[in-house]
Amino acid sequence: MILVMILAFFILLALAIPVAHVLVIASGAAILYGGEVPTLLVAQQMVNQTQSFPMLALPFFILAGSLMMSGRLGEKLVGFATELVQRYRGGLGSVSVVGSCVFGGVSGSAVADATALGGMLIPWQKREGYPAAFTAANNAAAASIAILIPPSIPFILYSLVSNVSIADLFIAGVLPGLMLTAGFVAVCNVSARLRGFPFAEHPFDGPKCRKLFIEALPALAMPAMILLLLRFGFATPTEVSVIAVFYALAAGIFFYRDMTVKRFGQALIAAGVATGVVMLVIMGSAIVSWLMTYAQIPQTFAEWCLGTLQQPWLIILAMVLIMMVAGMFIDLPAAILLLGPIFVPLAQAINMDLTQLGVVMVLTLAIGLYTPPVGTTLFISSSIAQTSILASSRELGPFYLVAFGTVLMFSYLPFLTI
């Protein structure tokens, strides 16, 4: 039964069928072939997975991000990031990185980040003399930072399969996000020096920077507000997500004064579509997870790893390598929901903290966002830059080094996630 599910999964994936549909069809085919469990199980598991109060945080955080990103906020954030770093070597490239870090606290989505920032910054960077392939690679890699900064949709999904506190995951995700930001800024700086990217000195304008900071403050304050409310127990993650929606509405109505009925409706539709896509993946993965548990795949895999690899550091390395390969072919939400139930028992068996596993999982799978053949943010950025995927991929070497180094640090230094 499991073999049929695996074969159907990869065949359908190769046919470019959306992964959510692949999960439902493959698991349904396995149940029909095996005949061991009733087909009614498909519908039951799809519905049961959605009956969770913490899951309500997902659509509200997505809606908050849609409301914040659809107005003048993007311009203010980019203006602030530009003023901070453009006076340094590689500053124009660094704007994409710093912009992704601050945008992540609003959108929580790498794809939204790559699209919104790429559309604004890549044409500007090209006009200033930056190679098109480098601007695409930089934007694609930088967008992965967004899913580490609260509110992070992947962390909410990991919480669903591991029962780890969303608050703990949000707090633990800040440090790797900042470390990736610093690392990618360093890549931009070194690349600009070695390759002679255009550079024009802009003296620091204190009053202008303060003005831009105040204008961007509502967006910059949003992730801080979320962390404080969760850290000190003022509200649950679901309640915080609703507060975030009202906060975004208040910022649009009273601060930026660009919230209209039409814009609110467009944000609702965009959030509804995005939520529907993620929820279908969650529902499909629920059936697959149940079948794996029924066949005792997680326990068998854990026993095999403990008996064969034995050493915890080798087991962690094996998990990281599996996640890297999976991230190249499977969308990040589906990869978390599929690999989580397998890796959680294994992590517990080697006394690995589950919060640490969540950070490592999101960090590692995020690399797949800008790695062919799927590479969602890479395809988006290359399209905006009007360059080939191959040319953009050649520029990703230094970004991979930073990302892999960060993954290894958080894999073997558990105190970084405490």
Digit-coded pLDDT (tens) for 292-332: 877 777 778 888 888 888 888 999 999 999 999 888 888 88
> pLDDT category, 70, cuts 50, 70, 90?
low
| Of 56 and 202, more confident | 56
Percent of the chain topping pLDDT 70: 96
Q: What is the pLDDT of residues 245-275, one digit of tens each?
A: 898 888 888 888 888 888 888 888 988 888 8
DSSP assignment of 154-205: HHHHHHHHH---HHHHHHHHHHHHHHHHHHHHHHHHHHHHHHT---------
Q: Which of 135, 240, 285 is nearest to 198 (CA)?
A: 135
293: phi then psi, degrees, rounded to nearest 5: -65, -40
- Hunting for tokens 């006009």 — which residue is that? 127
Collect all residues with Cβ–Cβ distance below 8 Å to 153 and sequence separation of at least 6. Answer: 58, 61, 62, 108, 109, 147, 278, 333
Q: CA 236, 237, 242: angle at the middle one, nearest 5? A: 95
Task: Yes or no: say if 258 and 71 are a contact pair by the CB < 8 Å rule.
Answer: yes
- What pLDDT score was predicted for residue 208? 76
3-state secondary structure of 258: coil
- What pLDDT score was predicted for residue 58? 83
Structural domain of 401: 2-417
Model-level pTM?
0.85
Axis-axis angle for helices 397-412, 354-367 (nearest 10): 170
- What pLDDT score was predicted for residue 201? 67
Q: Which of 53, 29, 55, 33 is nearest to 42 (CA)?
A: 29
The number of distinct structural domains making up the chain is 1
